[in-house]
Amino acid sequence: MATATSGGAVEPSADPVPERAPSSGARSADVLVVGGGLMGLVTAWRTAQRGLRVAVVDPDPGGGAARVAAGMLAAVTELHYGEETLLALNLASAARYPGFVAELERVTGAGLGYRSSGTLAVAFDADDRAHLRELHALQERCGLASTWLTGRECRRLEPMLAPGVRGGVRVDADHQIDPRRLVAALLSACEAAGVVFHRLPARALRTAGGRAVGVELADGRDLSGGQVVLAAGSRSGTLAGVPEAARVPVRPVKGQVVRLRMPPGPAGSGPLLSRTVRAVVRGGPVYLVPRENGELVLGATSEETGWDTTVTAGGVYELLRDAHELVPGVTELPLVEVRAGLRPTSPDNAPLLGPTAVPGLQLATGHHRNGVLLTPVTGEVMAHALTTGELPEQARPFTPARFAAAGTTEPGRTGPGAGHVSKEPRP
């Protein structure tokens, strides 16, 4: 039942890689994408739609963090102080979601579990309430639609909430999608668009004359490409052969997630929850995401433990304890699955998009807690950058150059609190 997901598009290696262009004269693809998770696939799909020949390198495309993520599209309820620039990109992506889903469903014939039933953030004690009041004030200052509710109003919306709920914020614009269905649909859409898949890890970036010119595969074969995109999630910083000037400052932040099954309600009654419910309990957030297929996803820990993807008793205990405090009925539900995945996290929690200091090498990684939300806009931004060489206006703050200038380029660091199981601190 417990599963670990770390993603493996990149073969870990510490060996230096000499500059050597792929030996074959013919270009394998116009664009080589290292990583077949959400970012790699959406980049490949959108770029192939623009007429470029695209190949993806990944031993298990459609895997990685998308198999763990809860799929909240929470631009408003996950707003944090100081992240207003990121908010603009998050909102731009959220606005694209309905059209993006409709297009993917049309192309693939598969449903993606997109639900626009909204989100309710609730508070239990005086501290939680004060924190939620601050978040609500920040949302209002940013011009976002959110409504303050009393505890009674919260329970009227979601009758299974614990009686101790003291207030909440209703945000109708924060939706959800099933990331497993999304990543499977992107895989099909890529195949339909002619994207070629090389199903093994990348061993090294190939450069010639200071330019990225291809990728060496784990079996020793070389692929040449006009441009290379590193979209390997938390592993993006570990590909051998990437010149120092383009070092990728992404580290893994582990998240453990529990999946339960909600029985269909008796005739006339609804399911356990009708919308996403979230709260800050003892300083850490917990969320419950009810899917249309009856699954209830509880998330998530936030742990700075390097590449470890062990599912721990402590992590699962904290999730169930906090979720039970919010909705006591959850402990009656069948337990279906527990998983851990790794969020790819940059020093400022915002993504790294577009060209690097190494010509021919672009990034699509570092999406931290917002990967699913940012999928549509990342595809557009990357297709634009790969076809024009420039980032569109809205994505310019997310250039990898912002870290090159500050000198904060070391990958794989573990931050304060390493080894400590926690959920993300209060915003």
Minimum gap (Å) between residue 368 Cβ and ligand GLY = 7
When the beta carbons of 72 and 395 are compared against ligand GLY, the nearer one is: 72
Q: What are the beta bridge partners of residue 225?
A: 29
Shortest Å distance, C-beta 299 to ligand GLY: 5
Q: Counting Cβ atoms within 10 Å, is residue 361 exposed (0-12), middle (13-18) or buried (19+)? A: buried
CB of 163 to ligand GLY, least distance (A): 27
Kind and range of the H or E run holding 383: helix 375-388
Question: Closest CB to ligand GLY among 70 and 135?
Answer: 70
- Does 367 sit near ligand GLY (CB under 6 A)? no
Give the residue with the Cβ less far from ligand GLY, 90 or 362: 90
41-80 residues in contact with ligand GLY (CB under 6 A) are 70, 72
CB-based contact 31:219 (threshold 8 Å): no
Pick one of 170, 203, 369, 384: the residue that binds ligand GLY (CB under 6 A).
369
Q: Are strands 251-261 and 295-299 parallel, antiparallel or unpaired?
A: antiparallel
Nearer to ligand GLY, 6 or 47 (CB): 6
Element (H, E) at 164: none
- Tokens 């695209």, located at residue: 54
Rounded to a whole number of angstroms, the minimum distance from the CB of residue 371 to ligand GLY is 8
Give the shortest CB-274-to-ligand GLY separation in angstroms.
Answer: 20
Residue (197 or 398) nearer to ligand GLY, CB: 398
- Quote the CA–CA distance of 364 and 84 in Å, as a whole number: 20
Residues in region 386-415 near ligand GLY by CB under 6 A: none
> Is position 255 an interface residue for ligand GLY (rule: CB under 6 A)?
yes
Is residue 364 within 8 Å of 340, Cβ to Cβ? Answer: no
Site mask for ligand GLY (CB under 6 A), range 334-363, x = bound? ---------x--------------------
Which of residues 300 and 391 has its CB atom nearest to ligand GLY in the complex? 300
Residues 15-34 that bind ligand GLY (CB under 6 A): none
Would you say 215 or 231 has its CB closer to ligand GLY?
Answer: 231
- The tally of CA atoms less than 13 A away on the side-chain side of residue 108 is 21
| 220 contacts 227 by C-beta, under 8 angstroms | no
How many Cβ atoms sit within 10 Å of the Cβ of residue 192? 12
Q: Minimum CB separation from ligand GLY for residue 72, in Å?
A: 6
Shortest Cβ distance from residue 379 to ligand GLY (Å)?
A: 19
Shortest reach from residue 256's CB to ligand GLY, in Å: 10
Structure tokens at 346: 């940059």
The tokens describing 53, both together, are 């020949």
Of 57 and 364, the one with the shorter C-beta distance to ligand GLY is 364
Burial class for 314, CB neighbours closer than 10 Å (0-12, 13-18, 19+): exposed
Question: Could you tell me how many residues of this chain bind ligand GLY (CB under 6 A)?
Answer: 7
Pick the closest to residue 228 from 424, 86, 363, 66 (CA basis).
Answer: 363
For β-strands 284-290 and 295-299, DSSP reports them as: antiparallel
What is the spatial distance between Cα 36 and Cα 45, in angstroms, rounded to a whole number? 11
Return the structure tokens found at 339: 């998983």
Q: Measured from the CB of residue 356, what is the shortest distance to ligand GLY in angstroms?
A: 25
Give the per-residue contact string, 173-192, with ligand GLY (x = CB under 6 A; - = no).
--------------------
Rounded least distance, CB 227 to ligand GLY, Å: 29
Tokens 């099933």 map to which residue?
A: 178
Task: Provide the 10 A C-beta neighbour count for residue 156.
Answer: 11
CB atoms within 10 A of CB 254: 27
CB closer to ligand GLY, 177 vs 202: 177
Judged by DSSP in three states, 18 sits in coil
Angstrom distance (rounded) from CA 49 to CA 186: 13
The residue among 108 and 236 lying less far from ligand GLY, judged by its C-beta, is 236
300 counts as binding ligand GLY under rule CB under 6 A: yes
Which residues form the interface with ligand GLY (CB under 6 A)? 70, 72, 255, 299-300, 343, 369
